[in-house]
Amino acid sequence: MKHWKIRIWIVPLLMAWAGQSQTATRSTSPGGVFGDVPAETVFVHQSASQIFAGETLYYKVYCLDAGSFKPSPVSKIAYVALVGKDLVPVFQHKVRLKDGYGQGDFFVPATVPTGSYKLIAYTRWMQNQAKEAIFQSDVWLVNPYQNTPAAYLAGGAQDSLGMEEGPITTSDATSAGVGGDLPGGPVALSLDADLFGPREKVRLELRASSEANASGSFSLSVRRIPEFPRPSSHGARNHRRLYGPGSQRPPLPDTSLVLPEMRGEMLSGRVLGAATGLPVKGQALTLSLGGDEFLFEISRTDQRGRFYFNLDRDYANEKGLFQVLGHADTGYTLELDTVGLVLPGVLDFKDFVLHDSLAPAVRARSIQNQVENAYLEVRSDTLLKSTGLVPFYRKFQEHYRLDDFTRFNTIAETLVEIVDHVWLSKDARGEPMFQVRPFDGYLDGMGMPPMVFMDGLFIQDHKDIIGFPARRIKNIFFSRDRYQIGANVFQGILAFETFSSDFHESFQRPFLKEAALFRPQPAKAYFRQEYKEGEQRERIPDFRRQLLWEPSLELEGPVTTIHWFTSDLPGAYEVRLEGFTAQGVPVSATKIFHVD
């Protein structure tokens, strides 16, 4: 029986249209290729609108159809940034979207000065709309570890907001600009009490007005209300009003558009001849991301020497290894496109002033943050392992752990003495070439090379690793199926893994280029403090201001119960639920409770 696995990777036709700025020519007729692709809007639920250096800002991205406000099926990547008045990003994140949703976080370092900032978010596809469609919300940041700019001090050039020392209570919460309880809407919040003690369990019931409204995607934040006013939060209901169907996008430009990232993260660039500096067209090249769960992609340049890779899987690599395929004697220059920051058309920064009376509260909060960060290990978040399907080039049928056998000096000796169905031969040029025996006979695979990897790096010239010391190889994996990638056919897959997993660091070739990657934020499960019976008096201090951040909340029918534990900080706390039902109905609800 023949065992064939023909894998054909085809770059969509629209990728061939891409230009220098990842744009493509388009037809403006109603029947154009992109005429039926819906416009998008992005909403971000942030955990705080007022934050200190030394704290973490959490956020969830909702990428929605601009007409129905249901999850958008178009974009798989969103961009989130925090910018100051100088328009220089404090951070700039890529966020991978699954079913229209994604999440991220940012720990504010002590290098970021006190000031008024904007959180902005968008997708590549949204760049074809008016810049006013880009999401923006206010963030006020206080850095007690730097001198405060004069503009943010009382007596400076700007008017005071009249901030007073002391915690905000429920009765004056609305006048202080933080919002009181916000009832109504498709989902209502109900607490088991209004007043709690330190390290006490709090139970929240979320009641959906109907079974249909219980279905959707939501996020929940429980955070202490700060001692002075904060900018108002941009909720889902308000977002629907501002960016809903009544605010349609203008027509796309007549000449070009920015391509959406429909298949995953898009990496692009161009290949130039090192000697001529001219674009190299029709040139195949590969992208390798090493590691235990290595990734491999192949592409081909267009008429302008441009290439495109689409990555639909998570990875932890900071750098990618690109190599031009073939045996040309000349070198190549590879230029990877950078991802620029896209700003809204108008950014209206709302300023604030810090009064001297707030100094004790600022000092106390900075000390509490330092104590919390000292115990970060016991309250750390957890990186989630990718659950996507294993790509075909990592589905090995055979595995040899070389420490289980007598060690030999060379790879050639190891293959002869230990590994079945793999051997060394010569290619048409007389160069050494690995071969993997197919399932359907020896002759059928003659002269057809396998895909060869060393620590996840694709090896196109097998002679480059023939002399590699076998003692440094930990594992050999291989598969005997046949694979086709574009015009290239491979008989089997052969992968070597070293003990140090760093082969690429000492491997240099003119056709191999290493480039830094702007990778998406890793998926996380955020820490939730639990206190069991008798643990409430343990000696580890608890100065958490963010009692709970749950970005992936799903309601379990008409009534859903969720809980958390209070910390040692007294004061007023706000429970904020944001999200959209499966029918695109926005949900914004808040509840305030106290810890005494």
Do 214 and 125 share a domain, yes or no? yes
**Is 501 found in the same domain as 400?**
yes
Q: Quick count: other Cβ atoms within 10 Å of Cβ 68?
A: 13
240 lies in some domain:
yes
**Six-digit token pair at 378?**
């016991």
* Segments in 98-235 forming alpha helices (H): 211-214
pLDDT of residue 60: 98
- pLDDT score recorded for residue 333: 85
Residue 259 lies in a domain: no
Question: Does residue 410 share a domain with residue 549?
Answer: no
Structure tokens at 585: 């109905």
One domain for residues 145 and 175:
yes
**C-alpha to C-alpha distance for 442 and 448, rounded to whole angstroms:** 11
- The reported pLDDT for the residue numbered 6 is 40
Categorize the per-residue pLDDT at 129 as very low, low, confident or very high, splitting at 50, 70 and 90.
confident
Whether residue 302 is contained in a domain is answered as no
What does the pLDDT look like over 39-78, one tens digit per residue?
Answer: 999 999 999 999 999 999 999 999 999 999 999 999 999 9
Higher pLDDT, residue 341 or 328: 341
CATH code for position 410: 2.170.130
Token couple for 44 = 């971000």
pLDDT tens for residues 329-359?
567 888 999 889 999 988 999 989 998 899 9
| CA–CA gap between residue 90 and residue 113 (Å, rounded) | 10
Same domain, 373 and 477: no
pLDDT for position 499: 96
Distance between alpha carbon 517 and the CA centroid of its chain, in Å? 12
From the list 497, 414, 425, the residue with the least C-alpha distance to 459 is 497
Longest dimension (CA), the chain: 87
Same domain, 190 and 125: yes
Is residue 484 domain-shared with residue 563, that is, in the same domain?
Answer: no
* Selection from 504, 495, 551 nearest residue 527 by Cα: 551
pLDDT for position 184: 54
pLDDT in the model for residue 487: 77
Does any domain span residue 3? no
Residue 205 has pLDDT above 70, yes or no: yes
8 A C-beta contact, residue 114 and residue 352: no
- What is the structure's pLDDT at 274? 84
Structure tokens at 271: 């290949």
Q: Where are the beta strands (DSSP E) in 237-326?
A: 257-258, 265-273, 284-289, 295-300, 306-311, 319-324
Q: The domain that contains 126 carries what CATH number?
A: 2.60.40.1930
| Phi and psi angles of residue 466, each rounded to the nearest 5 degrees, phi first | -60, -40
Residues 98, 207: one domain? yes
- What pLDDT score was predicted for residue 27? 37
* Residue 281 placed within a domain: no
Q: pTM above 0.75?
A: yes
> Does residue 20 register a pLDDT over 50?
no
Structural domain count, the chain: 2
Does residue 415 belong to any structural domain of this protein?
yes
* % residues pLDDT > 70 (the chain): 85
Residue numbers of the domain that contains 457: 392-511
